[in-house]
């Protein structure tokens, strides 16, 4: 999400377009040196579509134009192998995203601070460079994403972290300037960061420490094309902002979050507009909402969609959401304001306001998100259960945990006199059902439905919320799920049907059934029912899209978005299909025809060299291969590395004795990644002796370690079928 300075002015009145890119390097240097250098900087993290730097055990420093797009209640900061929830976001007070085009000021400071909900452990933070001696020093840039060289700019994406160096050529009060010099000029590992690296650090080595001298803000391309030789990298200067940074980290109250019942609404321009919006939304009349849109929405934003149409959308959404109670607010800056609400059905939503001007205050954007806030914001009676559920999810919720946490949630329901608290407890039960062993969750699901039926006016919404509990995430479905269990799921779904008076409720039930059929029948133990079944499902999805496409789906987005995802799954390789014939190159150079492996059970595991879980899985994969050495079984790796040489080098260095296919596109031959719709590594597919896809295991099942129990169980099941 990096911006040229000229583009920044246009960005001020519209949301920026993410353009993920990593470190762009010299064309005459091997890329491996840049990869190797990046290993020393595990304190650089991913923040939204940009980066940040750990500067204390609980704080990250990033760019304001990155941080202002974060949801302070739902978003996270991601380090290489861990993820941390956000407590608060504070933009530099000079940063204003509210001015009209042409009024951008060079004295804006593109800095922001993020406080994390928990202390980061196992990573040594970088320190702040406070001396005004940056001129002429060599700094290091760190980033991940797209890469390229000084001739081409950013051209490819491989997800790997790289680090490059550059010399500070000019300094002023707020900025550090670097030039991307072409050889023979420049440093040995000369490079620049690019779009997607905003917020990342310019690091200076001093006194044996990594010191943050600047924060990535923009690239001035001078008409040469972004990230090419001759362009100028511009970083926000840290040394002149030390006092502001330290004052924020010492102030417990700045930025929020604040509990509304205790503090009332703040007085910033964005907060005043948010309070006005909340008043008219609660009133829910056409005239009040139309007047709000006409008075506060930027005129240019009313051209594509008028005030009357926008007002009707709010009324429709308000009907779908039910009663909303604003509980917490956060104020990252004077023109950014977020409100965390809980609906009558126990669903949490955040409303993020972006405004311009003082009198009148005008609305630039209002974004609504759905998620689960950090446990510290959830009412105390449910906070501990939610926290324990989050911890259990890291390794997978067991049957014992499912029963224990579920019983505790129902005890809260039994003693509570608050409908809101009951619905919040039911929401946690729904999360439990989706997180634990599917069939073990059936008792909880039925018990939750009985409670939902007693909720009077909240009954329909409670039952709607529970539809998500009836479709377990793909990675939690056991490999031995059979037709009887699928039928049991569908029988439970029938309990949710209504007379159709609420179209969004019947849509939720229909969507849940289709998703159940697509995700379980296709990928697990029940073969897909053929093209006629597909046509019927497609027609059902088209009907849903026409009737309720703009409404909110149980997955969080609109039905149109959810349906698009299911359509994509329908076009993927069907369960039960056989692999295509034809040779595919291996990392060692010899072609391999996968069809030649018919008659043996086959495991295909998709991996890359930069995937930490993939590398950690290798010893466990090796043990499984050795345990099945006497069986008609073959294990094949599918590498997505940039070249067969890199794949072969990794296979040799890591001790991968099996065949590794290098997965490249070719004319009339799609890659296995595209054929299987792989969107995460490692992803494991198990095929039977007839060459049919029978099981799939996704990357979010195989976390930081690889437990081959389920994979080996699937293999042994297919071996037993051969006898």
Task: Work out the average pLDDT over 246-272.
Answer: 82
Does the pLDDT at position 658 exceed 90?
yes
Q: Evaluate whether 633 touches 706 at the Cβ level (below 8 Å).
A: no
User: Whole-model pTM?
Assistant: 0.56
DSSP state string for 508-572: HHHHHHHHHIIIIIHHSSS----HHHHHHHHHHHHHHHHHHTTSBPTTSSBHHHHHHHHHHHHHS
Strands (E), 92-152: 112-116, 127-128, 138-149
The pLDDT of 650-675, averaged and rounded, is: 81
Using the structure block, give the residue that is written with the tokens 């080996």. 712
pLDDT at 54: 96
- The confidence score (pLDDT) of residue 236 equals 94
**For residue range 543-600, what is the model confidence (pLDDT) as tens digits?**
778 877 777 665 666 778 877 877 766 655 444 555 666 678 887 777 888 888 889 9
Q: Dihedral angle at the C-alpha atoms of 243, 246, 250, 253, nearest 10 degrees?
A: 70
Q: Residue 90 — very low, low, confident or very high, per pLDDT cuts 50/70/90?
A: very high
The pLDDT value given to residue 380: 61
Neighbour tally for 707: CB within 10 Å: 14
Of 9-13, 336-340, 358-362, 661-665, where does mean pLDDT reach its minimum? Answer: 9-13
Which of 305-319, 418-432, 533-547 has the highest mean predicted lDDT (pLDDT)?
A: 305-319
Q: d(Cα 692, Cα 40) in Å, to the nearest integer?
A: 44
> Which among 161-175, 317-331, 374-388, 698-712 has the top mean pLDDT?
161-175
**Whether residue 401 has pLDDT greater than 70:** yes
Residues ≥6 apart with Cβ < 8 Å to 392: 398, 401, 405, 435
Highest mean pLDDT among 89-103, 188-202, 396-410: 188-202
The pLDDT, as a whole number, for residue 517 is 60
pLDDT tens string 428-448: 888 887 777 766 777 787 788
Q: 161 or 252, which is more confident? A: 161
Q: Which residue has the higher pLDDT, 8 or 48?
A: 48
Whether 528 shows a pLDDT value over 50: the answer reads no
DSSP conformation letters of 379-402: -HHHHHHHHHHHHHHTT---HHHH
Q: CA 580 to CA 598: how far, in whole Å?
A: 12
pLDDT band at 197; cut points 50, 70, 90: confident
Distance, in Å, from the CA atom of 697 to the CA atom of 82, rounded to the nearest integer, reads 21
pLDDT score at 103: 39
The per-residue pLDDT for 111 is 95
Both tokens of 393, joined, read: 């999810």
CA dist., res. 531 & res. 528, Å (int): 9
The pLDDT assigned to 602 comes to 92
Distances from the Cα of 702 to the Cα of 396, 416, 433, 684, angstroms:
10, 38, 20, 9
Per-residue pLDDT at 503: 47
- Calculate the alpha carbon distances from 534 to 417, 486, 571, 572 in Å: 47, 18, 10, 12
Question: Comparing 266 with 519, which gets the higher pLDDT?
Answer: 266
As a residue count, the chain comes to 723
Q: Are 240 and 173 in contact (CB under 8 A)?
A: yes
- 207 vs 129: CA distance, rounded Å: 11
The average pLDDT across 187-205 equals 91
Mean pLDDT is highest, among 94-103, 178-187, 189-198, for: 178-187
pLDDT of 162 > 80? The answer is yes
Instruction: Between 475 and 711, name the one with better pLDDT.
Output: 711
* pLDDT score for 453: 66
Cβ neighbours of 323 (radius 10 Å): 16
In this prediction, residues 218-223 reach a mean pLDDT of 83
The pLDDT confidence band at residue 506, using thresholds 50, 70 and 90, is low
Residue 221, pLDDT score: 81
Query: What percentage of the chain carries pLDDT values higher than 70?
Result: 76
Better-predicted residue by pLDDT, 410 or 396: 410
Mean of the per-residue pLDDT values of the chain: 78
d(CA 148, CA 510): 46
Radius of gyration of the chain from its Cα atoms, rounded to whole angstroms: 27
Q: What share of the chain has pLDDT > 90, as a percent?
A: 27
Structure confidence at residue 710 as a pLDDT band (50, 70, 90): confident
Please state, in angstroms and rounded to a whole number, the distance separating the CA atoms of residues 675 and 593.
16
Lowest mean pLDDT among 129-138, 333-342, 506-515: 506-515
Residue 456 pLDDT level (bands cut at 50, 70, 90): low
Least confident of 290-304, 459-473, 688-702: 459-473
Residue of 444 and 212 predicted with greater confidence: 212
Among 675, 589, 604, 673, smallest CA distance to 636 is for 604
487, 524, 573, 698, 719 from 518: Cα distances, Å: 14, 10, 12, 16, 26
């Amino acid at each position: 999400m990096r911006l040229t300075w000229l583009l920044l002015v246009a960005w001020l009145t519209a949301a920026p377009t993410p353009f993920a890119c990593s470190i762009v390097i010299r064309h005459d240097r091997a890329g491996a040196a840049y990869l190797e250098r990046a290993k020393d900087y595990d304190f650089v993290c991913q923040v939204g579509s940009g980066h940040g730097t750990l500067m204390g055990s609980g704080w990250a420093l990033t760019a304001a134009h990155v941080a202002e797009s974060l949801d302070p209640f739902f978003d996270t900061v991601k380090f290489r192998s861990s993820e941390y929830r956000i407590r608060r976001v504070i933009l530099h007070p000079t940063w204003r995203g509210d001015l009209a085009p042409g009024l951008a000021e060079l004295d804006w400071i593109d800095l922001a601070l993020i406080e994390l909900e928990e202390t980061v452990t196992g990573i040594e933070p970088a320190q702040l460079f406070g001396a005004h001696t940056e001129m002429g020093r060599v700094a290091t840039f760190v980033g991940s994403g797209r890469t390229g060289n000084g001739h081409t700019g950013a051209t490819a994406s491989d997800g790997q972290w790289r680090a490059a160096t550059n010399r500070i050529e000019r300094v002023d009060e707020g900025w550090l300037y670097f030039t991307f010099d072409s050889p023979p000029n420049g440093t040995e590992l000369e490079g620049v960061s690019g779009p997607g690296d905003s917020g990342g650090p310019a690091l200076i080595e001093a006194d044996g420490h990594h010191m943050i001298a600047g924060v990535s803000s923009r690239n001035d391309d001078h008409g040469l094309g972004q990230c090419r030789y001759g362009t100028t990298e511009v970083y926000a200067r840290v040394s002149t902002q030390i006092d502001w940074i330290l004052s924020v980290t010492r102030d417990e109250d700045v930025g929020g979050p604040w509990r509304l019942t205790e503090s009332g609404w703040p007085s910033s321009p964005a907060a005043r507009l948010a309070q006005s919006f909340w008043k008219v939304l609660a009133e829910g009349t056409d005239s009040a909402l139309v007047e709000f849109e006409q008075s506060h929405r930027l005129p240019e934003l009313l051209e594509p969609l008028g005030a009357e149409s926008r007002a009707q959308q709010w009324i429709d959404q308000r009907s779908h959401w039910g009663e909303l109670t604003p509980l917490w607010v956060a104020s990252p800056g004077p023109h950014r304001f977020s409100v965390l609400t809980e609906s009558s059905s126990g669903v949490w939503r955040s409303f993020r306001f972006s405004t311009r001007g003082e009198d009148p205050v005008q609305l630039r954007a209002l974004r609504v998100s759905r998620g689960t806030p950090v446990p510290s914001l959830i009412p105390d009676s449910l906070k501990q259960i939610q926290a324990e559920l989050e911890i259990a999810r890291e390794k997978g919720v067991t049957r014992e945990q499912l029963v224990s946490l579920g019983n505790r949630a129902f005890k809260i329901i039994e003693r509570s006199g608050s409908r809101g608290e009951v619905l919040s407890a039911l929401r946690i039960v729904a999360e439990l059902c989706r997180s634990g062993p599917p069939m073990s969750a059936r008792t909880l699901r039925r018990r939750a439905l009985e409670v939902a039926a007693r909720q009077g006016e909240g009954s329909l919404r409670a039952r709607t919320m529970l539809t998500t509990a009836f479709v377990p995430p793909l990675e939690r479905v056991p490999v031995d799920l059979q037709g009887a269990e699928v039928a049991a799921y569908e029988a439970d779904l029938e309990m949710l049907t209504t007379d159709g008076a609420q179209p969004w409720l019947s849509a939720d039930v229909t969507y849940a059934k289709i998703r159940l059929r697509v995700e379980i029948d296709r990928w697990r133990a029940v073969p897909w029912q053929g093209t006629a079944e597909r046509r019927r499902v497609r027609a059902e999805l088209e009907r849903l899209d026409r009737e309720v496409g703009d409404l909110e789906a149980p997955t969080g987005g609109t039905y149109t978005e959810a349906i698009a995802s299911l359509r994509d799954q329908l076009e993927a390789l069907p369960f039960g299909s056989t692999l295509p014939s034809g040779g595919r190159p291996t990392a060692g150079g010899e072609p391999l025809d996968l069809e030649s492996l018919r008659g043996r059970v086959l495991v295909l595991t998709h991996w890359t060299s930069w995937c930490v879980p993939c590398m950690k899985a290798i010893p466990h994969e090796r043990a499984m291969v050795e345990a099945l050495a006497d069986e008609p079984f073959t294990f094949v790796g599918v590498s997505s590395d940039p070249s067969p040489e890199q794949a072969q080098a990794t296979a040799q260095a890591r001790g991968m004795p099996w065949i590794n296919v290098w997965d490249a596109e070719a004319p009339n031959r799609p890659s296995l990644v595209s054929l299987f719709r792989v969107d995460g590594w490692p992803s494991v597919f198990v095929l039977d002796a007839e060459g049919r896809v029978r099981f799939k295991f996704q990357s979010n099942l195989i976390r930081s370690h690889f437990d081959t129990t389920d994979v080996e169980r699937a293999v042994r099941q297919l071996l037993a079928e051969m006898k």
